[in-house]
Structure 1
């Protein structure tokens, strides 16, 4: 709640009227003088130092609490990141172990220059986990009420419930996941689509961009993604790459702080090597809406150099299958500058690297594009969205011999399928 001096004075007048209705005579006079004295002190503080009055009022009314989470993210490799958001700065940690009754290990957020985190957005990464093992964990945060140079004062402490997850074995025989894309600030679509996959065991959920229309503030991220993801994200991790719409808006530069990772990356799980590219904006860098403060062409070229290095790695070369995930597909998405640049920059490399499958979104029209010897030498599968009737969930399972893809629309009807076999 926001307070200004006029709001506090209005509150004093309202309270004074309430006294008028309930007290008489000397009792009223004495209490009224006492009340006005306190009220004038508060009102004076508000007029002379509104920021201090705001802090005092907020401190008094808002209890320390968790706004969102915990939610899990991972790049696998026997580690997992646990994130949550508090409404005030805090010292935070995670207690964990392989038994719900014995959370004897403790992990903190990453230290920077010897300083542990002491903020609101908490990210604690558990490392050196045992493959295929179930872990139990509990988040904890202790409010920082006052931070003086030589004295830190703690306030209330919060402990989450005991949650659990299975640390995926990177060497497992098969991997299974679902892809959502182009939700566009329709948070009800997340549980709706995931419920179509209910009962299936997955290793992760992949968000392939444009979960939002543009980035406005923290509350949008909480309400339109993190809260809907509470359906699964306490026990099943998600992987997330930006779409072009996540690059837009006044909060776009703060957006990445709420996730362990939203850019380009690569990881191995089971027989597949996953390569994720951040395709950036589809508008030209010189478009007036950006007023000269973006540089996505250079960003895509940097990723192309990174992709070349990734293609030379043993992990890429030895994988049974190489699956690329990118929001803007490397072809079949129109003639906007970003789409054309993606084709120019990424398609030759993807052909050279002999990738087996590309998963994308962006066009809002679900479609399976067969390999084309004159263009993409690999299948490109594009998810739909965001309107009713065109929303999709894409189910992917990879073994050492094949990759099976099945796409469902929002009624649960299969609208596409594809099979990639080992060459």
Structure 2
């Protein structure tokens, strides 16, 4: 969807309503791609994929199969990645982990940047010695930071994919020529959450293959994302606003409100883990 400051509010709301009814928006601005099987690299498990894009920062995420020390190399040209970013928690550089979320800070608005991810396997981690194994270095990818005063905004919406990751690639055949600022996952990407491999196979790897290395996406939780034993861990794989499923932000001419639509039944029903809820309320 493309938004222009001159578009009337009624016309915009009508267009959004039609998209919700259809459950599909023709995508544009991306090359047609085939959904591949999960990456078979022994180190890389999924990604990279972009999250939480702002004029001055963006988060790069990826998963590894083995505990690693990971970082991002980035810069303003593809042949000069002269800046490095890693995550620091409580004064310690994050390491010996598999789930990476590294924020690139102090960026300039409306500017193209190039980046690659690096993960060094840690074979042994003792107080006086760290033994490294192989290193995974990704290809170089590019992204552009949002322009705060942009006159237009373009995005596409997926919803109710329900465990059919091939649908992402099929729907992209309806693309046009407009480059998308982000992709919006409007709930129910899965039937219910089971484990990390499901998140990788049904969401992260298909989207990384198609566009998420260069274009960020936003996940709005639907009622099916709150079901299943792994639903309590989904927020470890996506970045929104302050680790919540509901938030708002300004992007060009639009002020966007992301709603948490994850509950469609009373708290005590079995799909939300009836026994767990009763234990917490007693």
Superposition TM-score tier, normalisation by shorter sequence: 0.7 to 0.9
Task: Find the residue that maps to 2:231 and give its secondary structure.
Answer: coil
- Is 1:133 aligned to 2:111, yes or no? yes
Q: Counterparts of 1:169-184 in structure 2 under 5 Å? A: 169-184=147-162
CA distance in 2, matches of 1:75, 1:285: 33
- Is 1:116 aligned to 2:98, yes or no? no
CA distance in 2, matches of 1:63, 1:232: 19
- Note closer, same or farther for the CA distance 1:63–1:163 as it changes in structure 2 (3 Å cut): closer
Q: Counterparts of 1:183-194 in structure 2 under 5 Å? A: 183-194=161-172
1:73-95 C-alpha deviation (Å, 9 max, x unpaired): 12424211111111011110000
CA distance in 1, matches of 2:124, 2:139: 27
- Note closer, same or farther for the CA distance 1:294–1:256 as it changes in structure 2 (3 Å cut): farther
CA distance in 1, matches of 2:265, 2:113: 44
Greater C-alpha radius of gyration:
1
CA distance in 1, matches of 2:275, 2:149: 46
The residue aligned with 1:274 is 256
Task: Find the residue that maps to 2:110 and give its secondary structure.
Answer: coil
Q: Which has the higher contact order (CA 8 A, sep 6+)?
A: 2
The residue aligned with 1:405 is none
The residue aligned with 1:259 is 238
Q: Counterparts of 1:19-418 in structure 2 under 5 Å? A: 64-109=42-87, 111-118=88-95, 119-229=97-207, 230-261=209-240, 263-289=245-271, 290-294=273-277
- Note closer, same or farther for the CA distance 1:136–1:186 as it changes in structure 2 (3 Å cut): same
Bigger fraction of residues in helix: 1
TM-score relative to the length of structure 2: 0.78
Shift, 1:149, TM fit: 3.1
Bigger fraction of residues in strand: 2
Q: Is the 8 A contact 1:204 1:239 kept in 2?
A: yes
CA distance in 1, matches of 2:213, 2:53: 16
Q: Is the 8 A contact 2:63 2:100 kept in 1?
A: yes
CA distance in 2, matches of 1:181, 1:63: 30
1:176-216 C-alpha deviation (Å, 9 max, x unpaired): 10111111111111111122124321111000111000111
Structure 2 stretches lacking a partner, 5+ long: 1-39
Q: Is the 8 A contact 1:96 1:104 kept in 2?
A: yes
* RMSD (CA atoms): 1.9
Count residues in correspondence: 234
Structure 1 stretches lacking a partner, 5+ long: 1-61, 296-423
TM-score relative to the length of structure 1: 0.53
